[in-house]
Structure 1
Amino acid sequence: MSEHQVLEASERKYLLKGLVCAGCAAKIEDALNKTEGIDEANLDLSTGVLYVKSRLSNEHEVVENIVKSFEPHVEVTPAGAEELSEEMPRECCVSDGGNAPKKLLRVTKDGVVMLFSAFALILLLVNQERSFIPYPWNYVLALSGYLAAGSNVLSKAVKNLLHGYIFDEYFLMAVATIGAFFIGALPEAVGVMLFFRIGEILQDRAVNKSRRSIESLLASRPKTALVSIDGKLVEMDPAKVSPGAVVVVRPGEKIPLDGVVLEGFSSVDTSPLTGESLPISVSPESEVKGGCINKEGLLRIRTTKPFVESSIYKMMELVERASARKAKTEKFITTFAKYYTPVVVLLAVAVAVIPPLVVEGETFSNWLYRAMVLLVISCPCALVVSIPLGYFGGIGLASARGVLIKGSIVMDALNDVRTVIFDKTGTLTEGVFRVLSVEVVDGFDESELLRLAALAELHSNHPIARTIVKEAQRRRLPLRDEEITFHKVYPGKGVMANWKGKKIIVGTDEFLSENGIEVKESSKNATVVNVALEGKHIGRILLGDALRQEAKNAVSKLRALGVEKLMVLSGDNQRSTEAVAKEAGIPCFKGALLPEEKVKAVEEEMEKAREKEKLLFVGDGINDSPVITRSDVGVAMGGIGSDAAIEVADVVIMGDSLEKVPEAICIARRTRKIILQNIVLVLSVKAFFLALGAMGVATMWEAVFADVGVALLALVNSMRSMKFQKKGC
C-alpha cells in the first residue's frame, strides 16, 4: 500500500473550469482510472464536473497533477456542501476558466491568429498560380501561418505522446500536416491546421452552449435567505441556515429552503422544480420547496431541512451527475475510436509505402499525399464530441420539463420499454385519502375505535395513517402520545401498538389473520383498515382515494408509444385495486401484495419479456423502493423530498403528473434517433471519402470537409436534442 493510501474509499467532486476538449476529457478520465489508489473516476464534459472515488489522502494533488499534465490552463477546484456559495450554480457551467477581461483577451488573440493564418493561406494559394513568393520565403510564410494556427495542436500531440496516447486526433493532424510540408503541399498543410483549429473553436462553443442550457436549472438555487433573528432580518447564504430558522420571502423572491408556512397567503410558482407553469396556492401550514418562486404575498416560513437536504440541492446534484452514467453507445464510441484510429494509421502507412515499392512508375510523394488525406479524414472527433452532447441535450431537456433522468444509460433503457407497471396509492391515485365511514363490530363505540386506530398510527408516515390521524383530529378526539408505550410498523401489512397495557393491531385482513384474529371480509370497493383490540376484531375504517385526472390520458399515450402491457400492483385489497385499474383503463392488476410480493410479480413479468425489452415501474419512492430498484427502469413520482426516491430511482418525476412518464420515453427515443443519425452520417461520409482518398480522387480540401465539416454537422444535429417537440418522438 502506498504511503498516501487510506483504508476506506471516499467520493469527492471537482469542478474543472476551462475544460472543453472531448478527447482530453477522455484521456484525463482514463489516466485517473489507471492511477493506483483511485477506484473510479467519472468525468462529465457536459458539466465540467469530475467525480473521483479513491483511497488517497493526497487525492486533490494527484487529480490536479493529472489534469494539468493534459490541460495546463484548467482550474481544478474541489466542490463540497460547505463550499456552496452564490456562484456555485455557474461554476459547473462556465468554461472560460477566468473572468470577462481574460476571456475577451483570449477571444481577441484567437481572432488575430486565425486572421493571420487565413491571410498566409490566401497568399500561398495565389502563389501556386503566379509564383511571386520565391523559395525559401514561401516555406517561411507557410510555417508562420501553420504554427500560428497549430502550435496548440502540436503541443497537445507531443504531451499525449509522452503520456502514451499515440493515436489521437492531435497526432493525426500533426503527422498529416508535417507530411504535407515534406512533399511541398504548403497551402494544404496550413489549410488543414487552420480549419481544424476553427473546428475546435466551434466545437468548444457548442459544448459551452449545451452547458448554458442547464444554467437556468442550476440558477434556480436561491442565492440568499432573509432570516429573522431577534426581530431583525439578516441576509445569509442558504447553506448556512439551520433547520427551524424563520425566513421571510417577499413577492417575486425565491424560497431559499424547504419549510412550512407560518404566516401569509400567496401563490407559488413551482416550475423551477417541476416544469409545471401552473402556480399552487399556499397558506399557513402549507409545505413549500426551496427554489420555487413566491408570486404574490409576503411569507414567513420555518425551515425544516438544511440546504444539502433541500429539494433544489437534490435537483442540482441529479442534473450535475446525470451525464456521468454513460450509455453503452458512448462507451462503444470511445472504444471504437481507440481501435479505429490505429487501424487507419496503419492503412495510411501501407498506402504511402507499398504502392511505390510494388507498382512501377508510382512516386512516393504522390502516395504519401494520399496517406496524409486518409489521416485527416480518419479523425474521430465528430463521434467523440457529438454523441455525449446529444445525450446531454436530451437529459437537459427532460430536466427542464421536470423529469430527472439519471444518465445516458437510463436514456437507452427508456427506449426499449414495452411493459409499464404502476403502483396504485399515490401513483395512479392522488394519494389523498378521506375516511368514508367507520364500521364497528358488536356495538363498539365508533369514536373510540377511530381514536384507538389514530393512536396506533400516530408515528407512521404512510398516507393512510396520516388520513386516520387527521380524521380523529377533525373530530377533536383526544390523542395523547404518552398513552402509547410500544409501536411497530409492518410494511405492507399494518401497525402494532401497546395502549395502556393493551395490544392494538391496525392493518389488512391478512395481517389480523396472521395474528390469529378472525376477520369478516368487507364487500365494498374501498381501502379497508381493520382494527383489533386485545385479539378481538372491533371494526374497520373505510377510506377512498380518487384517480389522478391525467391517469387515463397517460395510459393512452403509453399505448400510442407501443407499450404492450400495462399493469397495476398494490398492497391494497383486490377489490379496491381492480376498481382503480378499470377506471384508468388498465386490464391487468394484482392486489393485497406485500413489498416482497411486488418484487416477485415484477420479476415474473421481466422473465416473460422478450430479449432487450425493458420493464418500467412507477411508484411513490417510499414504500416501493425494493421494486423500483429491481425494475429495468424505476420511476419515482413526486420524489423530490423523498431520500428513497432520490437514491434508488432511475428517473425522478419532480411534480405529480403521470403524463411525464410517456414524455420521458418520448424524449429518450428522439435522443436516440438523433444519435443514430450522427453515427450513420459520420461513418458513411468518412467511409466514402476514405475510399476516394485511397484512390487519389479526394484532396486535402475534401479531407477537411470529411473531418471538420462533418463534425460541425453532427454537432448541429446533436443540439436538436435540447429542443422540445410537442408532437412526435
Structure 2
Amino acid sequence: MSEMAALKKQYLLEGLCCGSCAAEIEREVGGLDGVSSASVDLASKTLSLKLKENAEPKAVAEQAGRIARRHGPGIVLRELDAGAAAGEGTGVSGRAKLRRAAVILAAALFAAGLALPLAGGVKAALFLASSLLAGGEVLIAAARSCVHGHVFDENFLMSVAVLGAFAVGEYAEGAAVMIFYRVGEYFEDRAVDRSKRSISALMDIRPDSANLKAGGAVRRVRPEEVAVGDSILVRPGEKIPLDGRVTEGCSLLDTSALTGESLPRSVEPGSEVLSGSVNLNGALTVEVTKEFGESTASKILDLVRNAGSRKARAENFITKFARYYTPAVVFSAVALAFLPPLLVPGAALSEWVHRALIFLVVSCPCALVLSVPLSFFGGIGGASRRGILVKGGNYLEALSRVDTVVFDKTGTLTRGSFEVTEVSPAEGWDRETLLDLAAHAELYSSHPIAASIRAACGSRPDPARVSGYEVIPGKGVRASVDGRAVLAGNAALTGMENAASPAAGTVVFLTVDGAYAGRIVIADEIKPDAAQAVQKLKEAGVRRTVMLTGDCRGAADRVARETGLDAACAELLPAQKVEKLEELSREAPAGGKIVFVGDGINDAPVLARADVGVAMGGIGSDAAIEAADVVLMTDEPSKLADAIRIARRTHSVVMQNVVFALGVKFAVLALAAFGAATMWEAVFADVGVALIAVLNSLRAGKPAPARRNER
C-alpha cells in the first residue's frame, strides 16, 4: 500500500440525515489536529479523511465520532473496510421499525383528534400525544443541540415551530408539522436508500471468498489471504476474486459490472482475467498476478467510494448558502414575531408569532443540501453503469460545460496495432537490409511502432549486434548496429524535413553513418467507432474536436479526414502538446472546458493540464486509473459523448432542484409575511419540496438526449 493510501480513511455516518449537521461535522472534523482535509457526502453518508503523516487514525476517529454525536445523538461512526461500497448497511433496523410504528400511531391519534367530536382539552391532549410520539426523538435531539450551541439545525427549528404552535393554541397545526416532517423524512430516506442500493448493486463486484488450490486440495479463504503466484479455482457462476492469468480451462466471462458491456468475453489458457468478472460456464484455474488490495475490483470500488469527497462547485455553494440562509430566515422570523406588534397599532402578538413559526418551518435547507449531492451521486452511478468511472462531482460538473475535446491519436482514435505497409530503401540499399537495421535499432523500444518493425523483419534481432542504444523523446532512437551509427525516427531526428513526401501512415526514416538509407511506413487502423464518437460529440454540443499527435502530417490528416475532426496538429513533442492545449484553452469561451482524451500512460502532462483528463481503455490499467479524472473502461471513444450527456443531465437536474426549492420557499416566506400562508403550506415547502427534489435527483444518472447545435 502506498503512503498516500495509508493516509486516507473513510467512515460511514449511520443515522446522518441533517444537511446542516453534515456541513458542521465536515467543518469541525477538518479542523482537528492530524486531519489534512475532511469531506462529508450526505448522499452516501460517508466521511472521507486525509490524515497528516504524524496523525493517529484511532484518536482522530474517536474525536470525529464525538463531534458527530454532538451534532446528532443517533449518529454512529463506523469505519468502512477496503472493499466495502458506500451505501452498504441500508437495511431497516429494529430502531427504525419502532420509530415507524410510533409515527403510524401518532397519525392515528392525530386523525382521531380531527374526526371525533371531543372536548377541547381532550383534543389538545391527543394532538400533544401524537406530537410526542412522532417527534420525541426530534425534541430530545433539539435539546442536546441547544446545549451544544447548535441552534440552527433542523431538529431545533422544527421543535420551536411545534412548541410555538402549541403555545398560541394551534394544536392541530403543531401536531401536523411534526407528523408530516417525520413522514417526509421517512420517504426521503427511502429515496436516498434506493439510489444508494442501485449503486451498491451496480458495484457488487467485491468477491466474498476465493477457492485456493494448494497441496492437491481446494479450500475456501478470504481474498486477502491469497498471495501473488497462488492458484485459485473459479467455478461457473462465481466472481473472479483477484486479477490473474488463466492456466487451465476455457470459459466465457461477464464483464458488464466493469465495462458496461453485455457481450461475454471468451478466455483460455494465457488470457488475462480481472477481478469482478463473473465466470459463466467453464471451470477456470487462475494464477494470481495481483494481491487483493491492488486488484481491479478493489481499485474501482475505492474510486467510486471516494468520488463523493471531490465535490462540485454547486455542492460547495449550497453548503455555504445553507450556513447563511437558515440563520437569516430565523432572525427574520424573530423580527416578524416581535417588531410588528411593537410598531404597528392593533397588531396581535399571537398572529405575528404564528407567521414567524411558518418562517421557522420553511427555514430548513434540506431540499437543497440533500438533493444536490444526491444528484451528483446518481450521475456518477449512472456513468459507472455504462463503464465510465468519474472520480468526483467536480469532474462531472466540468464535463457538463465542455467546449473542446482534444484527442491523442495512437490507442485513442486508432487501435494502436501497427503493421508495416511500405519499405522504401534508398539507392544502394535493399528491403531486407533496411528492415534488419531498423529492427535492431528498435530492439529495446516498447513502442507499438517498434514492435511492428521487429515483426516485419521476420528474424529475431540479435542483442549482441546492438550497443549505445538511446531514446530521443518524441523523435525516435539512436543506436550502434554492427558498429554503424543508426538513427531511426521522424524527419526532425534524421534531418529529412525537406525530403519527406506525404504518406498514409507513420513514417520512420533511417540514416546510417549520417547518410539517408530509406524509410518505412507503418499504418494504424482507425477504431470502428472513432468517426461515430466525433459525430456524437458534435450532436452533444461540443464546439470543437482536435487531435494532437507526434505522428507525421500525412498520418494525422488521414485520421482527421476519416473521423471528421475539426483540426489535427501533427509532429508534436510532449512539451509541445501541453503548449498547444494551453493555446486551445485560451481560445475557448469563458466557462468552456477543455477535455483531453488519451491512453493514460504516455500523456500524463497533457492529462494533468486539461480541465478534465480522460483515459481510454482503463480496464486493468493501473496507470490509467491513477492518471485520469475520468476513465472509460472499454476501448470505445464514443462513450465520451455518453459521459457528457450524463453530466449535462445531472447539471440540469441540479439546477431544477435549486430553482424549484428556492422558488417555493421564497414564495411561501412572502405569503407567510403577509398572512396568506398556513402551516400546511410551510410543511409542503419544507418536507414536500425536499421529497420532490430527492425524487427528481434519481433522474440524474440518465443521459440527456442528443441535441444538434446545442451551443
Q: Shared topology, TM-score over 0.5?
A: yes
State yes or no: 1:558 paired with 2:537. Answer: yes
Find the aligned partners of 2:548 and 2:264 in 1 and give their Cα distance.
Answer: 32
State yes or no: 1:266 paired with 2:246. Answer: no
Find the aligned partners of 2:270 and 2:433 in 1 and give their Cα distance.
Answer: 28
Shift of 1:356: 1.3
Equivalent position of 2:400 in the other structure: 415
State yes or no: 1:628 paired with 2:633. Answer: no
The amino acid of 1:557's aligned partner reads: K
Shift of 1:599: 0.7
Shift of 1:541: 3.3
State yes or no: 1:507 paired with 2:489. Answer: yes
CA contact (8 A) 2:389 2:633 kept: yes
Unaligned runs of 5+ in 2: none
Q: Secondary structure at the match of 1:546?
A: strand
CA contact (8 A) 1:433 1:544 kept: yes
Greater CA drift, 338-347 or 438-447: 438-447
Q: Secondary structure at the match of 1:247?
A: strand
Q: 1:11–1:188: structure 2 CA closer, same or farther, 3 Å change rule?
A: same
Deviations 1:476-505 (A, max 9, x none): x23455766665444322334566776554
Equivalent position of 1:153 in the other structure: 138
Equivalent position of 1:329 in the other structure: 314
The amino acid of 2:654's aligned partner reads: I
Deviations 1:49-81 (A, max 9, x none): 322122322323222332333345444344454
Equivalent position of 1:93 in the other structure: 87
The amino acid of 1:94's aligned partner reads: E
Shift of 1:139: 4.9
1:605-616 pair list within 5 angstroms: 605-616=584-595
Equivalent position of 1:33 in the other structure: 30
Equivalent position of 2:473 in the other structure: 491
CA contact (8 A) 2:540 2:706 kept: no
Deviations 1:141-173 (A, max 9, x none): 443322221122223323333444322222221
Equivalent position of 1:65 in the other structure: 66
Deviations 1:3-58 (A, max 9, x none): xxxx9996322231524414232221121112233220012233333221223223
Find the aligned partners of 1:623 and 1:410 in 2 and give their Cα distance.
Answer: 21
Shift of 1:209: 1.1
State yes or no: 1:111 paired with 2:100. Answer: yes
Equivalent position of 1:312 in the other structure: 297
The amino acid of 1:366's aligned partner reads: E
Selected match of 2:671 from 692, 701, 704? 692
Selected match of 1:703 from 679, 682, 694? 682
CA contact (8 A) 1:11 1:51 kept: no
Find the aligned partners of 2:456 and 2:276 in 1 and give their Cα distance.
Answer: 32
Q: 1:572–1:187: structure 2 CA closer, same or farther, 3 Å change rule?
A: same
Find the aligned partners of 2:310 and 2:444 in 1 and give their Cα distance.
Answer: 38
Shift of 1:471: 4.4
Find the aligned partners of 2:213 and 2:515 in 1 and give their Cα distance.
Answer: 53
Equivalent position of 2:633 in the other structure: 654
Selected match of 1:618 from 591, 597, 602? 597
The amino acid of 1:109's aligned partner reads: L
Shift of 1:245: 3.0
State yes or no: 1:403 paired with 2:372. Answer: no
State yes or no: 1:242 paired with 2:243. Answer: no
Deviations 1:503-532 (A, max 9, x none): 55433222334xxx9995354221123345
The total of aligned residue pairs comes to 701
Q: 1:416–1:117: structure 2 CA closer, same or farther, 3 Å change rule?
A: same
1:553-592 pair list within 5 angstroms: 553-592=532-571
CA contact (8 A) 1:519 1:537 kept: no
1:663-678 pair list within 5 angstroms: 663-678=642-657
Q: 1:540–1:306: structure 2 CA closer, same or farther, 3 Å change rule?
A: farther
Greater CA drift, 581-590 or 442-451: 442-451
Equivalent position of 2:48 in the other structure: 51
Equivalent position of 2:500 in the other structure: 521
Find the aligned partners of 1:484 and 1:271 in 2 and give their Cα distance.
Answer: 46
Find the aligned partners of 1:167 and 1:122 in 2 and give their Cα distance.
Answer: 31
Selected match of 1:176 from 161, 167, 170? 161
CA contact (8 A) 1:418 1:615 kept: yes
Find the aligned partners of 1:260 and 1:496 in 2 and give their Cα distance.
Answer: 36
Equivalent position of 1:360 in the other structure: 345
CA contact (8 A) 2:407 2:547 kept: yes
The amino acid of 2:12's aligned partner reads: L
Equivalent position of 1:13 in the other structure: 9
Selected match of 1:545 from 524, 549, 555? 524
Shift of 1:393: 0.8
Shift of 1:189: 1.4
Identity among equivalent positions (%) equals 44
Shift of 1:344: 0.9
CA contact (8 A) 1:18 1:94 kept: no
Equivalent position of 1:3 in the other structure: none
Q: 1:485–1:18: structure 2 CA closer, same or farther, 3 Å change rule?
A: farther
CA contact (8 A) 1:169 1:379 kept: yes
Greater CA drift, 156-165 or 685-694: 156-165
Deviations 1:622-676 (A, max 9, x none): 1111111111121111123333322232211110111111111111111111111
Greater CA drift, 705-714 or 222-231: 222-231
CA contact (8 A) 1:19 1:45 kept: no
Shift of 1:379: 1.7
Shift of 1:93: 1.4
Deviations 1:394-448 (A, max 9, x none): 1110111111112221122112112111111111111121222444445556556
Q: 1:645–1:378: structure 2 CA closer, same or farther, 3 Å change rule?
A: same
Find the aligned partners of 2:540 and 2:324 in 1 and give their Cα distance.
Answer: 37
Selected match of 2:177 from 183, 192, 195? 192
Find the aligned partners of 1:353 and 1:545 in 2 and give their Cα distance.
Answer: 78
Q: Secondary structure at the match of 2:416?
A: coil
Equivalent position of 1:132 in the other structure: 119
Shift of 1:238: 2.9
Find the aligned partners of 2:626 and 2:288 in 1 and give their Cα distance.
Answer: 23
The amino acid of 1:681's aligned partner reads: F
Find the aligned partners of 2:489 and 2:514 in 1 and give their Cα distance.
Answer: 13
Find the aligned partners of 2:656 and 2:529 in 1 and give their Cα distance.
Answer: 34
Find the aligned partners of 1:173 and 1:650 in 2 and give their Cα distance.
Answer: 41
Q: 1:356–1:17: structure 2 CA closer, same or farther, 3 Å change rule?
A: closer
Find the aligned partners of 2:255 and 2:468 in 1 and give their Cα distance.
Answer: 40
